[in-house]
Chain A
Amino acid sequence: MNKFIEAVSTLENSYIKDWKSRGGRVVGYTCSYVPDEILHAAGLFPFRVRGFSAADTTIGDTYFGPFICSLPKCMLQLAGEGKFNFLDGIIITPGCDSMRRLDECWRKAGDDIEGIMPGFFFHFGVPHKFTDYTLKWFTEETKRLVGALNAHFGADINNEKLSESIKLYNRSRALLARFDSLRTKENPPFTGIEALAVVLAGTALPKEIYNVMLEEYLTEMNEAPGLAGRSRIMLVGSANDDLELVRIIEGSGGLVVADNLCFGSRLYSDAVDENSDPVEALVTRYLSHNECPRMYGDYKNRLLSLKEKIESAAIDGVILQNIRFCDLHGSENGLFERDLEKEGIPCMRLEREYGPLVETGRMKMRIDAFLERLGRRTVAP
């Protein structure tokens, strides 16, 4: 576990330092809709950009206006402080409007602050629905990315290399599926905090090393004693890459055993088809993912997936959190609350800021009350 936590406690962790010292290059991406297998196939280190560890948002606030989600602001803050200078490239998507604007804000900050602009800067479009023509467009967009990576990094991304990368990533996914079943068994052997560390590490380590670490960990956890007597929580909503937030949510008596988050299960659900053309297989798997509310009009399916997970993981209560100004999660959480409560599944909505945890007292009070409510459910006849 320590290795996982160490890998995610600093942005430029020891593995990245090591990679770079051997002449390797790192390309960051901001969204779970980027098929990072491509970066791996190009011989690059794919790094999921985070906002974690930003101590304030003075730089973020300079370029972004007010009324904006604090996640991209924190990312820009780190970029402006030079904390992402180890990146040789960055891929930004219109995951949502606030994240989309990270593109120009970073570039303009790059005009003012020396050295923070990665050499490769790419705006990667992602459609908002899954149809034959959006898939076609997305395939072309992915090929455009491939071409640009080849040109800039002198890489040679071909089908063979892609197939290899896909296999490797699928191995991760299979391991994480096993991890998921451990996570949701009756007395899970690890906390939600540890679970997040495991998943996050997968975005900040070379996949080869990660798979080995994960396999070892899973073997160890098979024999580990379980944590009993806690309310089983599912965490839903806006992105979170801060272990401390999960610590507050687990509070005194909760255990986050499932999630549908961006730095969570969205990363490892569904394998890429290894039997068809690699690019086609990748775009199909990535674009067909509908867990993100940016895929408009698909609420019913997302609700169904939630309900299935709640049942299979024996969830006691759902915490629906959103970052302030996140319109997408902030609204869909309202629908989830309505429809889940209707079926007798206790829910709690929590609005928060992303970044340094300054309002823990307020959050704790609400979470305590929710856990008290859940606790009574298991005691009462």
Chain B
Amino acid sequence: MRKEMKEYNFDWMLWNVFASAARLKSGTEKEYLNTLKYIPYFKGVVEPIMECGEPGRKFLDMSAKYLENIVHAKERGFKTAVTTFCFSPAIFYAMDIIPVGLEVISVMMTFAYKRGTADFLDFCNEAGFTETSCSSQRGTIGAYLAGVGAEIDMIVTDSPGVCDTNANAFAFASAYLDKPFFQLDMPPDLTGDRSDEYHLEDYKALIKFLEEHSGKKLEPDQLKARLDELQRQDTIIAELEEMARIIPSPIPVVYNLFVYASRFLFAGMPECTEVLESMLKAASENAAMKRPGLKGGREKIRTFFCYIDHYAQNLQLWQMLEREGIGYCGNILSRLWAENVPHVKEYGKEEAAYRVDTSSLDSMIYTLAGINSRMPMIKSIRGPYDAPNMWLEDTLALAKMYSTDVIVYNGTPGCRNTWGMVKLLARDTEAAGYPTYIMYSDAFDERVQSWEATEERFLEFLKVRRII
């Protein structure tokens, strides 16, 4: 790794970037515009976020807070847990453990830096970690493996049974750094007594592990507070999801990113609720005025990203969507599986969703096991893709509900479980009447395919298929 990368802790650097960006709004509009001249490097990422108004500003605040928690965990007496985006952090906050979500941090670096996480991706090779593994974990774990980040106390994942490359990254890190490791293992089925029992027993074992390694006991009051907050958040998200059905959608395209980012960073905490409330207000105003969320004022087509987004620097994916008037109906990360959300009610999928019950400690633990097993990917990428409640069923149902014109698949070359069958999925969705586009890029590494090339090919697809 280059010498410069070892001069400062990378998470401290990243925190400073986002904290400074968050402070930009504390002046007047004129001061803000003037300041942009002095940050030519970061102007590209700041502007698209700030142009969203209050939700964008709150998003920056939230991201800065997340990193601040990590950087100051040790001095504030908190333990840290390296974890994955599809692991609901509510339990950590309930136990005063600071989550370090690898993929969300990778997204932040890929947005903000020209070189993205390239140095840390490369360091993984030096550490003996395979370069074919998913770049979403590699981009950040490389930094921790190199010892240029905050101290890690434990490593927790819930991807076994869902995503090998994800689970493997955490297992590798735990062996390399010699840190305690816990895996929530997912059975091939989502529903049914066997799976319910499995999820619950596993979650109880998780709590024992967290108590042992944090030195803190799970307090029912604290947990209730987190779950109450989470319920508030679920209600807001349900409203946003209902609104997203309107044609044209009144929800600005980047809100999807803010929705899932907030949940992954701060589920159960007020920081997440604030961002969601702010978005709901803005979207509701648009809906009342029958105004589309797209800044250009015209929604030419509606897309559904059946997997994840592309995190090219400066939010170029969303800039392209805005520029081309392409509506965005969500992706696998933004859809929620609480019992009160529109798609659960529409398709009678209560069994596949979770219920929040805070009446007792036991019921709350059962709730947590339910929430976690219904997190994005964890819910729908188990067993075969065409089994009940799995990826194909979800994709087709959501594409229909949200009146999608095009389905787009984007991931990373490390995604073994989707590349293993994405052609099959595309065949099925095409057969169902949805033109389906497979992106061969890497959401976290532009060296695989530049954003320019990715965008060009996508727009060419839309032209060739006469969609736009």
Contact = CB atoms under 8 A, between A and B. Distances in A.
Counting from the closest, the 3 A-B pairs by CB-CB distance are A334-B128, A101-B420, A330-B130
B129 A128 contact: no
A188 interface: no
Contacts of B427: 108
Contacts of B423: 62-65
A102 to B, nearest CB: 8
Interface string A42-69: 0000000000000000000011111111
Contact of B130 (A67, A68, A108, A322): A322
27 contacts: A64-B420, A65-B420, A65-B421, A67-B415, A67-B419, A96-B416, A100-B417, A101-B417, A104-B384, A104-B385, A105-B421, A123-B188, A125-B187, A128-B160, A128-B183, A133-B201, A137-B198, A296-B168, A296-B170, A296-B181, A296-B183, A297-B181, A299-B175, A325-B132, A327-B164, A331-B129, A334-B129
A159 interface: no
Nearest to B417: A97
Nearest to A333: B128
Given A97-B165, A125-B161, 5 more contacts: A65-B423, A68-B420, A140-B194, A297-B182, A331-B130
A100 B162 CA distance: 10
Tell me the dominant secondary structure on chain A's binding face: helix
Q: Which of B130, B169, B181, B185 has the most CB of A within 10 A?
A: B130
B202 A97 contact: no
Given A68-B419, A98-B416, A328-B168, A104 B424 contact: yes
A297 B174 contact: yes
A100 B420 contact: yes
Interface string A308-347: 0000000000000010111110111111011000000000
Contact of A297 (B132, B164, B171, B440): B171
Interface string B103-126: 000000000000000000000000
Interface in A65-98: 65-69, 72, 94, 96-98
B416 A337 contact: no
B194 to A, nearest CB: 6
Contact of B416 (A108, A140, A296, A325): A325
Contacts of B176: 335
Interface in A103-123: 103-105, 107-108, 123
A325 B413 CA distance: 9
Interface of A: 62-69, 72, 94, 96-98, 100-101, 103-105, 107-108, 123, 125, 127-129, 131, 133-134, 137, 140, 293-294, 296-297, 299-300, 322, 324-328, 330-335, 337-338
A327 B168 contact: yes
A250 B290 CA distance: 73
A292 to B, nearest CB: 11
B424 A108 contact: yes
Contacts of A333: 128
B131 to A, nearest CB: 8
Contacts of A62: 423
Given A297-B181, A300-B175, A335-B175, A105 B424 contact: yes
B84 interface: no
A134 B185 contact: yes
Contacts of B183: 128-129, 296-297
B268 to A, nearest CB: 26
A212 B161 CA distance: 39
A338 B181 contact: no
Contacts, number: 153
A123 B386 CA distance: 13
Given A334-B128, A335-B172, A327 B165 contact: yes
Contacts of A325: 132, 416
Contact of A96 (B164, B386, B415): B164
A103 to B, nearest CB: 5
A66 B418 CA distance: 10
Interface in B188-215: 188-189, 194, 197-198, 201-202, 205
Nearest to B127: A334
B125 to A, nearest CB: 9
Given A322-B130, A335-B172, A327 B419 contact: no
Nearest to A336: B128
Nearest to B162: A97
Contacts of B378: none
A245 B198 CA distance: 41
B63 interface: no
Contacts of A123: 188, 383-384
B136 interface: no
A237 B416 CA distance: 18
Contacts of B420: 64-65, 68, 72, 97-98, 100-101, 105
A297 B167 CA distance: 9
B256 interface: no
Nearest to B178: A300
A328 B386 CA distance: 25
A335 B181 CA distance: 16
B122 to A, nearest CB: 14
A133 B202 contact: yes
Interface in B414-468: 414-424, 427, 440
Nearest to B413: A67
A307 to B, nearest CB: 15
Contacts of A101: 385, 417, 420-421
A98 B189 CA distance: 18
A69 B160 CA distance: 18
B164 A97 contact: yes
B172 A332 contact: yes
B303 interface: no
B6 to A, nearest CB: 20
A142 to B, nearest CB: 12
Contacts of B313: none
Nearest to B175: A299
Nearest to A125: B188
A137 B192 CA distance: 12
B128 A127 contact: no
B185 A127 contact: yes
B168 A331 contact: yes
Contacts of A332: 172, 175
Given A105-B421, A137-B194, A328 B164 contact: yes
